[in-house]
Amino acid sequence: MVTTDRGRVAEVAARLAAAGVPTPAVDARWLVDHVVEVAGSCDGCGGALLDGLVARRAAREPLQLVLGRTWFRELELRCAPGVFIPRPETEIVAGVAIDEASGLDAPIVAEPCTGTGAIALSVAVEVPGARVVATDLDPAAVDLARDNLGRVLAGEAGPPLAADQVEILAGDLLAPLADDLRGRLDVLVSNPPYLPAADRDRWEPEVADHDPDRALVGGPDGHEVVGRLLALAAEWLRPGGLVVVEIDERRGEDARAAAVRAGLVDVTLVPDLTGAQRAVRARGAR
Ligand SMILES: C[S@@+](CC[C@H](N)C(=O)[O-])C[C@H]1O[C@@H](n2cnc3c(N)ncnc32)[C@H](O)[C@@H]1O
């Protein structure tokens, strides 16, 4: 952020605070900087633009949708209504996959539940030799992930990418993958829906009104998709291949048990920066 217009930021922050926005000062800086970047200043047309964006944020539309973009590891990604907005804690989950893939020669990486494509595209740009196949059940997510892929390929969204490195396919978990990849994946990484339906009442308006339900809720008890992914990992990973799946921090032991039941080995839980159990990590049996 490069804000110089402190008075304007303070005005915007006061409007956002009055509307109950949880991080008014930070959001105000982002909004003012965005308007300066796209309109040159917050006067005249820029002022009208800023006013409209602040009104949207004050109505509790997520900042990333108001800006139309977000940042994930080394990438600037487009965000769009109806598609899950990537969260900072997922950067750690992507990092586990990237660290693993970086040590391998031409690794094959699968990322079911890709949303904007954040994890798949990060793996691909940070591990130049990797082949990455990503899927999503939601056509809106597939379109947005392909759009973000196109922007990365055009050099508009981050480090360079080879044209044939990433495929984004529509469908359920690993069902769209070519059958000859079965037993050959080096890494399976995913941030699937993992919250229970009963949590809905507790969500902030930014989540409840804007992230799609199918991106958040993993079946009635929340754990259905995590369990399915771990079972698929046992089938699709090569011996010794790595799976890392983001989880509900309250379900660490359930995730560990599901991984063991699936026949995976070296099962551990991965903490995020707050110390919460953020992912389950395991290997295919050797
Ligand atoms: C929590 S969001 C994560 C998106 C992205 N990976 C990220 O971290 O920002 C979960 C995504 O999984 C997709 N999804 C839900 N069930 C799925 C399934 N059975 N197969 C493939 N994708 C699914 C949703 O459409 C949504 O885009």
Question: Is there a single domain that holds both residue 116 and residue 206?
Answer: yes
What region does 185 belong to: left with phi over 0, alpha with psi -120 to 50, or beta? beta
Element (H, E) at 85: none
Could you write out the DSSP letters of every residue in 163-216? TTSEEEEESSTTTTS-GGGTTTEEEEEE----B-GGGGGG--HHHHTTS-HHHH
Whichever domain contains 155, its CATH number is 3.40.50.150
pTM of the complete model: 0.96
Question: Is there a single domain that holds both residue 28 and residue 105?
Answer: no
Would you state the pLDDT for residue 3?
54
How far apart are alpha carbons 243 and 193 in whole angstroms?
16
How far apart are alpha carbons 90 and 72 in whole angstroms?
9
Question: Is there a single domain that holds both residue 212 and residue 86?
Answer: yes
Question: Is there a single domain that holds both residue 54 and residue 95?
Answer: no
How far apart are alpha carbons 196 and 46 in whole angstroms?
42
Taking every pair of C-alpha atoms in the chain, what is the biggest distance, in angstroms? Answer: 65
Residue 227 belongs to a domain: yes
In the predicted model, is pLDDT for residue 2 greater than 70? no
Query: From the CB of 138, is ligand 1 less than 6 Å away?
Result: yes
- What is the rounded average pLDDT of the residues 28-44? 95
Q: What is the pLDDT of residues 208-256, one digit of tens each?
A: 999 999 999 999 999 999 999 999 999 999 999 999 999 999 999 999 9
What phi, psi does 254 have (nearest 5°)? -65, -40
Would you state the pLDDT for residue 4?
62
Q: What is the pLDDT of residues 86-136, one digit of tens each?
A: 999 999 999 999 999 999 999 999 999 999 999 999 999 999 999 999 999
- What is the rounded average pLDDT of the residues 64-77? 98
> What is the side-by-side order of every strand in the sheet holding 166-170?
166-170, 131-136, 108-112, 185-190, 237-246, 277-283, 265-271
- What is the rounded average pLDDT of the residues 1-8? 73
In the predicted model, is pLDDT for residue 1 greater than 60? no
Residue 124 belongs to a domain: yes
pLDDT-derived band at 267 (thresholds 50, 70, 90) equals very high
CB 251 within 8 A of CB 226: yes
Looking at every residue in the chain, the average pLDDT score rounds to: 96
pLDDT-derived band at 164 (thresholds 50, 70, 90) equals very high
Question: Is there a single domain that holds both residue 102 and residue 195?
Answer: yes
- What is the rounded average pLDDT of the residues 63-92? 97
- Terminal CA-CA length for the chain: 48
Residue 66 belongs to a domain: no
Residue 203 belongs to a domain: yes
Domain count, the chain: 2
Count H helices and E strands in the chain, helices first. Answer: 11, 9
Residue carrying structure tokens 């990365």: 152
CB 60 within 8 A of CB 69: no
pLDDT-derived band at 5 (thresholds 50, 70, 90) equals confident
Instruction: Give the Å distance between the CA of 172 and the centre of ligand 1.
Output: 10
Question: Is there a single domain that holds both residue 13 and residue 141?
Answer: no
CA 276 to chain centre: 18
Residue 1 belongs to a domain: no
Question: Is there a single domain that holds both residue 178 and residue 123?
Answer: yes
Question: Is there a single domain that holds both residue 210 and residue 170?
Answer: yes
Question: Is there a single domain that holds both residue 25 and residue 113?
Answer: no
12 token code pair: 């915007």
How far apart are alpha carbons 251 and 107 in whole angstroms?
30
Query: From the CB of 176, is ligand 1 less than 6 Å away?
Result: no
Instruction: Give the Å distance between the CA of 281 and the centre of ligand 1.
Output: 18
Query: From the CB of 193, is ligand 1 less than 6 Å away?
Result: yes
Question: Is there a single domain that holds both residue 112 and residue 238?
Answer: yes
Question: Is there a single domain that holds both residue 168 and residue 38?
Answer: no
Instruction: Give the Å distance between the CA of 215 and the centre of ligand 1.
Output: 5
- What is the rounded average pLDDT of the residues 145-162? 96
Question: Is there a single domain that holds both residue 122 and residue 240?
Answer: yes
Instruction: Give the Å distance between the CA of 15 and the centre of ligand 1.
Output: 34
Residue carrying structure tokens 């907005």: 85
Residue carrying structure tokens 């995020």: 272
Please give the residue range of the domain that contains residue 121.
Answer: 71-78+81-283
Pairing of strands 131-136, 166-170: parallel
Residue 149 belongs to a domain: yes
pLDDT-derived band at 189 (thresholds 50, 70, 90) equals very high
In the predicted model, is pLDDT for residue 37 greater than 90? yes
Residue 65 belongs to a domain: no
How far apart are alpha carbons 92 and 238 in whole angstroms?
23
Residue 279 belongs to a domain: yes
CA nearest to 274, candidates 124, 144, 92: 92
Query: From the CB of 24, is ligand 1 less than 6 Å away?
Result: no
Q: What percent of the chain has pLDDT over 70?
A: 99
